[in-house]
Structure 1
C-alpha cells in the first residue's frame, strides 16, 4: 500500500478516535484535567524506600553515619516537592475545579511526611514478624533486601496513610504498582496492625474494608475478599464494609478464601484450601474435612 493511501486510512480513523460524544464511546470520557504522573509516583516510592531502609537502597554515601542526616533531609525535601505536586494533580483529577488545591496539597504532603516515622516503625515490626516465622530467612538484611512482602507492605502502608489524608487516585496507583511488582494485591483502604507478615506472597488479595489485627500471618494465595455486594437503587455496588475482620495472632495458610464481613477470632489457625464464609471464635482451628473411605 502506498503511503498516501495509508494516511487516508489513518485520517479516517482520527475522526472517530478523536470523538468524545459518540454513544459507543460513552464510557471513555475526554479527560482534560491534570493527572498524576506514574513516573513521579514511582520516584516518590523509591525515595521513601531509601528513607525507611537507609543503606539498603540508594547510594552508599546516604548511609554513612556522618552524612545520613544531610541526605535524609535532601531526600525528604525531594519527597515533599514531588508529593505535593502529585497530590495536587490527584485532587484536580477528582474535582471539577482545582484552583484552590495547591495549598491543600502542600498541607497534605507535610502531614504525610509527619507520618513517615510511624510507617517506619510499622515496617520494622513487619520485618521482625517475617524473620520470626520463616526459617529460610538468614537475616533481617536479607528480608529487607529480597522479600516481596516487605515491598508490598511498604507500598500499602504508604498508600493507606495517603488515603486517610484524603488523597484520591495516588493510593490506588501505589498499591497497583506493588501488585504488578510482587503479585500481592492489598487495597490501600485495608487496615493492618503491627507485626504483619506474608509468606511467599504470590496471589495474596486483601480487600478494601478488611481489618487485620496484630501478629497476623498470611500465606500465598490467601484472599480476604467480599462474598457479595450490596446494591443501591440503581443496581450499582455500594461501598460498605464487606471484607473480613482478622483478629490478633491469626495464621491463614495457602490458597484459602475468607469471604464476607465475618470475624476470625484471635489465635485461630485457618488451614490451606479452605472456603470460609462464617465467623469463627477465638483459638479455632479450621481444617479441610478428610475424605472417609467406604468399607
Structure 2
C-alpha cells in the first residue's frame, strides 16, 4: 500500500480550503457557554462573558473568510442584546408552563423541554444571522436540531411567547414569520411550496399571525400563505393557501375497521 500516494490523492480532492471543522466544534462549545451563561445559577457571569468573547474571537478567525468584513465588531453589538434575548426566552418558558398541563414547574421547562432549548438556541443564533455573521448561526441551530429534532432556521422571525410542544420533527423555514403567542406541536412544517435556487432572496415560507395553534403533523407551505390570528390548524392538515382570522381548519381521515373472523 502506497500511503503517500493515497495522501496526495486525498489532498488533491480537498477543494474547500476554508473547510475547517474546528468551526463546528468551537460553535458548539460557544453555544453551550451561551446557554449556561443565561440560565445556570452557578455560572459566574463575568468569567463566562470573558470566555464567550474569547470563543467568539476564535469563531471570527475561523468563519470570516472575507478580510474586509468587520466580523470582530459584531461581538460588542451582540453581547448588548443578551439581556433582551433572555427576557424573550423567559416569556417563552412561561408560555410553555401555561400551555402544557404536563409541565410541573418552570425549572422543568428550562432543563427538560426540547422545544424550549430549540427556541433558545434559535433566538441566540438569530441575532448573529441578522448581523450577517457567516455560517455560525446555522451551525448553532443545527446543533440544537441534532439534540432535539427541532429544525428552526436562524433567519426565521419569531415573536414573543412561542411554545413548541414535544418538538420532534418540527421544521421552520428561513423566511417564516411567526407572530406572538403561537403554539405548535410535533411534526409541524412551515415550509416552501416548492424548491428552486433562484428563490433564495424570495419569501418562501408562511406567515403565522398571533394566537394561532397548529396541531401535530400539520404542513403549511408557501411564502404567500398567511394563517390569520386566533386560528386553529388541526393535526395532519395540508395548507397551501391563506386561512382567514378566527378559523378552524381540520383534516378528516377515512378510517375503516375490518373485523376478522375468530379461528379455533
Q: TM-score, with normalisation over the residues of structure 2? A: 0.90
Q: d(CA) in 2 for partners of 1:36 and 1:105?
A: 18
Offset at 1:106?
2.7
1:267 aligns with 2:253: no
Q: d(CA) in 2 for partners of 1:229 and 1:129?
A: 33
Aligned pair count?
255
Paired residues for 1:129-168 under 5 Å: 129-168=95-134
1:197 alignment partner, one of 145, 163, 167 = 163
Offset at 1:229?
3.3
Paired residues for 1:68-217 under 5 Å: 71-92=44-65, 95=66, 98=67, 100-101=68-69, 104-217=70-183
Task: Report the equivalent of 2:211.
Answer: 249
Q: d(CA) in 1 for partners of 2:16 and 2:141?
A: 26
Long gaps (5+) in structure 2: 257-264
- Point out the structure with max Rg over C-alpha: 1
Alpha carbons 2:23, 2:63 under 8 Å: kept: no
Paired residues for 1:209-228 under 5 Å: 209-228=175-194
SS in 1 for 2:64: helix
Structure 1 residue ranges (4+ consecutive) displaced by more than 3 angstroms after TM superposition: 10-15, 32-36, 229-232, 289-293
Alpha carbons 1:36, 1:170 under 8 Å: kept: no
- Closer, same or farther in 2 for the Cα pair 1:192/1:36, shift >3 Å? farther
SS in 2 for 1:116: helix
Long gaps (5+) in structure 1: 1-6, 21-27, 63-70
157-166 vs 38-47, which moves further = 38-47
Offset at 1:110?
1.0
Across the aligned residues of Structure 1 and Structure 2, the Cα RMSD in angstroms comes to 2.0
